[in-house]
């Protein structure tokens, strides 16, 4: 065959045949991914119980001493204190609702605050409760800036409402409250002022140096101011926000007074309630889990200043912690675990 005839023959097609790419080694299948998510959810649901077990083991002497001191207490007064403590979670839920323009489902909101109470006694400075509430609000469709602004407003209103209550007590009972020994001296006030100035300076320095934080913080501040103006145009939200913030410390003070009555504390309820407000306002900002430790010492001190015997004052504070911390801790952790498993958090 001549070269000319060879050129006339049809040439084979050079179109490349697609070859399927090999599966990446180690990539999880959808079934494996679901299994991993399920295991992670189980681990998160068990984590609160493990933390509480370690916390109880660390503070076991307090648990044992509490049981011994409360063995001879009046059960009816302890039951009254438990009822007041349940009302505290309702007051917290009302305050949370008042800090948001959107309406939240009452049942899940109350359950989230019950679960947040357990988380609050594990992490310091209320971080546990805020983390649980933030996840709950996100699950309800609230954006991160709106949810964060709600937490900031909630955290701001609580101390302001407590301060107003203290001033109200001082005006209503000017001659019966012994506040001479409770007023801090000049040195203590100076240290507190220096601490506030240093905190503000640190925050300003952080915003100046870390520029990526400016935009989120400014957006959060803008959202908080906008929501605060909007909320204060709605009377029902104003009543929920400020009424709940004022009711919460009063109800916790009633828990303390009920435990004191069960142990024979010879003090009027007005003195006990004011002692709680003063003690929690004085050292409530100390970053301890649930305020345990600094607030307890301040409570014993204020009760003794008002005339209580040291053993009775100590037993009253221990019983107060049993009702507000230890009794609801395990049920709250179970509710927290259940909400994690049901993807409500």
pLDDT confidence band for 15 (50 / 70 / 90): low
Whether the per-residue pLDDT at 159 is higher than 70: the answer is yes
Higher-pLDDT residue of 194, 90: 90
Confidence of residue 59 (pLDDT cuts 50, 70, 90): low
Per-residue pLDDT band for 186 (boundaries 50, 70, 90) equals low
Q: Any idea what DSSP says for residue 213?
A: G
Q: What is the mean pLDDT of residues 122-136?
A: 77
**Distance (Å, whole) CA 39 – CA 43:** 6
Residue whose entry in the numeric block shows the structure tokens 């109800």:
251
C-alpha to C-alpha distance for 302 and 90, rounded to whole angstroms? 27
- pLDDT at 45 exceeding the cut of 70: no
State the pLDDT at residue 130.
85
- Cα-to-chain-centroid distance, residue 116: 6
Residue 118 pLDDT: 77
For residue 116, pLDDT over 60 is answered with yes
Local structure of 124: helix, strand or coil: strand
Average pLDDT value for residue range 225-247: 90
pLDDT tens-digit readout, 80-91: 999 999 999 999
Among 122-126, 259-263, 304-308, 316-320, name the one with the lowest average pLDDT: 122-126
DSSP 8-state assignment for residue 289: B
At residue 28, φ and ψ (nearest 5 deg) are: -75, 145
Q: Which residue has the higher pLDDT, 154 or 203?
A: 154
Q: How confident is residue 105, by pLDDT bands cut at 50, 70 and 90?
A: very high
pLDDT at 284: 58
**Tokens standing for residue 121:** 């006694």
Mean per-residue pLDDT for 11-26?
53
Structure tokens at 281: 């306002």
How large is the average pLDDT for residues 117-121? Answer: 75
Q: Is 280 a residue whose pLDDT tops 80?
A: yes
- Signed CA dihedral, 40, 42, 47, 50: sign only: negative
In this prediction, residues 95-100 reach a mean pLDDT of: 92
Which tops the pLDDT comparison, 275 or 181? 275
Distance CA 259, CA 208 (A): 49
pLDDT value at residue 51: 57
Predicted local confidence at residue 241, as pLDDT: 94
Output 33 or 24, whichever has higher pLDDT.
Answer: 33
Q: Is the distance from CB of 131 to CB of 138 less than 8 angstroms?
A: no
pLDDT at 80: 95
Q: Write out the two tokens for 266.
A: 């010879």
* pLDDT tens per residue, range 284-338: 555 555 555 677 888 888 888 888 888 888 888 888 988 888 888 888 888 888 8
Asked whether 97 and 310 are in contact (CB, 8 A), the reply is no
> Taking residues 209-216, what's their average pLDDT?
70
- Mean pLDDT (the chain) is 78
């Amino acid at each position: 065959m001549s070269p000319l005839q060879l050129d006339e023959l049809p040439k084979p097609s050079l179109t490349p045949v697609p070859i399927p790419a090999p599966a990446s080694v180690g990539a999880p299948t959808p079934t494996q991914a679901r299994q991993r998510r399920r295991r992670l959810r189980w681990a998160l649901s068990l984590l609160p119980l493990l933390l509480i077990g370690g916390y109880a083991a660390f503070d076991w002497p307090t648990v044992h001493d509490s049981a011994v001191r409360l063995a001879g207490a009046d059960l009816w007064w302890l039951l009254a204190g438990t009822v007041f403590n349940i009302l505290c979670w309702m007051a917290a839920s009302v305050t949370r609702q008042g800090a948001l323009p959107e309406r939240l489902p009452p049942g899940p909101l109350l359950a989230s605050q019950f679960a947040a109470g357990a988380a609050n006694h594990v992490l310091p400075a209320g971080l546990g409760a805020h983390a649980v509430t933030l996840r709950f609000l996100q699950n309800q469709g609230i954006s991160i800036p709106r949810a964060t602004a709600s937490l900031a407003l909630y955290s701001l209103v609580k101390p302001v409402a407590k301060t107003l209550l203290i001033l109200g007590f001082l005006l209503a009972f000017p001659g019966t409250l012994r506040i001479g020994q409770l007023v801090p001296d000049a040195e203590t006030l100076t240290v507190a002022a220096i601490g506030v100035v240093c905190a503000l300076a640190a925050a300003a320095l952080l915003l100046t140096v870390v520029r990526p934080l400016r935009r989120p913080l400014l957006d959060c501040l803008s959202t908080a101011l906008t929501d605060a103006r909007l909320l204060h145009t709605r009377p029902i939200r104003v009543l929920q926000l400020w009424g709940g913030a004022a009711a919460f410390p009063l109800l916790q003070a009633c828990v303390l007074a009920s435990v004191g009555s069960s142990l024979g504390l010879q003090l009027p309820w007005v003195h006990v309630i004011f002692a709680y407000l003063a003690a929690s306002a004085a050292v409530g900002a100390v970053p301890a889990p649930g305020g345990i430790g600094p607030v307890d010492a301040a409570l014993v001190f204020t009760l003794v200043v008002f005339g209580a015997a040291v053993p009775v004052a100590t037993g009253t504070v221990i019983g107060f912690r049993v009702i507000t911390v230890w009794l609801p801790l395990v049920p709250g952790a179970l509710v927290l675990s259940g909400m994690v498993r049901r993807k409500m958090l």
